[in-house]
Amino acid sequence: MPNKTKIKVAVHGAAGRVGREVIAAVSKATDLQLTCAIDQLDKGQISLEVPYYNNVEEALSEHSTDVIVDFSLAAACLGMLPHVIHHKVSPVIGTTGFSDKDLRYIADICNDNKIPGFIAPNFTIGAVLLSKLAAMAAPYFEYVDLIEEHHENKIDSPSGTAIQIANAIHDAHSDPFSQNHPTREPYPGARGASIHGINIHSSRMPGRLAHHQVTFGGPGQSLIIRHDTNDRECYMPGVLMAVRKVLSLHDFTVGLDQLLDND
């Protein structure tokens, strides 16, 4: 493919666990051109064969870029956005841990400046399907619990994916779910966090990457829907799909399901 038709891509959070996978995946894609990598770490601490910057403004001033992929920290992503908008670069955001107010800000700054943008709390196809299947099952059960397990370094709990799944289940169930409220709770919190009355239990430990399980309960039966990921490569098909589609989006778009439904 001639160079001029390639989508030019920068990576923010490039030295991180997912950022490095993005660098590798974009480098391999023949329709994409990796322009630069940005991270707060000193260049000496990492080895990336691509122009490397600690400063997003400097990076985008020096490298014409169409799309920036962000897997960093919520605060770092928010700090990056005004520069990205200034350079008319479309953000594809994988970072999690944003408040609702942050998410409104991200959508508004993109929409107000007519810059197409995209965010997904989970870039794996399996998690998107889990959410859809759980929403399909929700009307038929009165009890539900959500368990999510991640690696020990994850800084937000519950996961953005668990919150999104809870919202999808809630939207698909007309009344509140039934819940057990313990009358004796010597160790508070044993029933987990609660979103719309749906209990969420978060586990963090080595040997895990990202795992989500929804358990529905009804008289004499339960239904378990579970998704496991074991390698960060799992995010790359979704990330590359978002990079290829973001420039043709009209409004700021949330969730990989929106891109799949567009196919």
Cβ atoms within 10 A of the Cβ of 106, count? 21
Residue 19: CA count within 13 A, CB half-sphere = 24
Cβ atoms within 10 A of the Cβ of 153, count? 8
Burial track 189-211 (b if 16+ CB lie within 10 A, e otherwise): eeeebebeebbbbbeeeeebebb
Per-residue contact track with ligand NAD, 86 to 105, x per CB under 6 A? --------xxxx--------
Out of 6, 132, 154, 245, pick the active-site residue.
Answer: 154
> What's the chain's length in residues?
263
Catalytic annotation present for 101:
no
Identity of the residue, 97 or 197, whose beta carbon is nearer to ligand NAD in the bound complex = 97
Three-state secondary structure call for residue 83: helix
Binding ligand NAD by CB under 6 A: which of 10, 32, 120, 169?
Answer: 120
Per CB under 6 A, does 73 bind ligand NAD?
yes
d(CA 222, CA 228): 19
d(CA 176, CA 56): 45
Per CB under 6 A, does 52 bind ligand NAD?
no
Which residues between 17 and 36 bind ligand NAD (CB under 6 A)?
17-19
Q: How far is the CB of 239 from ligand NAD (least distance, A)?
A: 8
Q: How far is the CB of 150 from ligand NAD (least distance, A)?
A: 8
Identity of the residue, 177 or 236, whose beta carbon is nearer to ligand NAD in the bound complex = 236
Surface-to-core class of residue 6, CB atoms within 10 Å of its CB (0-12 exposed, 13-18 middle, 19+ buried): middle
Binding segment toward ligand NAD, per CB under 6 A, in 67-75, 136-144, 171-179, 217-225: 67-75
Per CB under 6 A, does 247 bind ligand NAD?
no
Per CB under 6 A, does 197 bind ligand NAD?
no
Per CB under 6 A, does 72 bind ligand NAD?
yes
Is the dihedral angle over the CA atoms 69, 74, 75, 81 positive or is it negative?
Answer: positive
Active-site residue numbers? 150, 154
Interacting residues toward ligand NAD by CB under 6 A: 12-13, 15-19, 38-41, 71-73, 76, 94-97, 120-123, 235
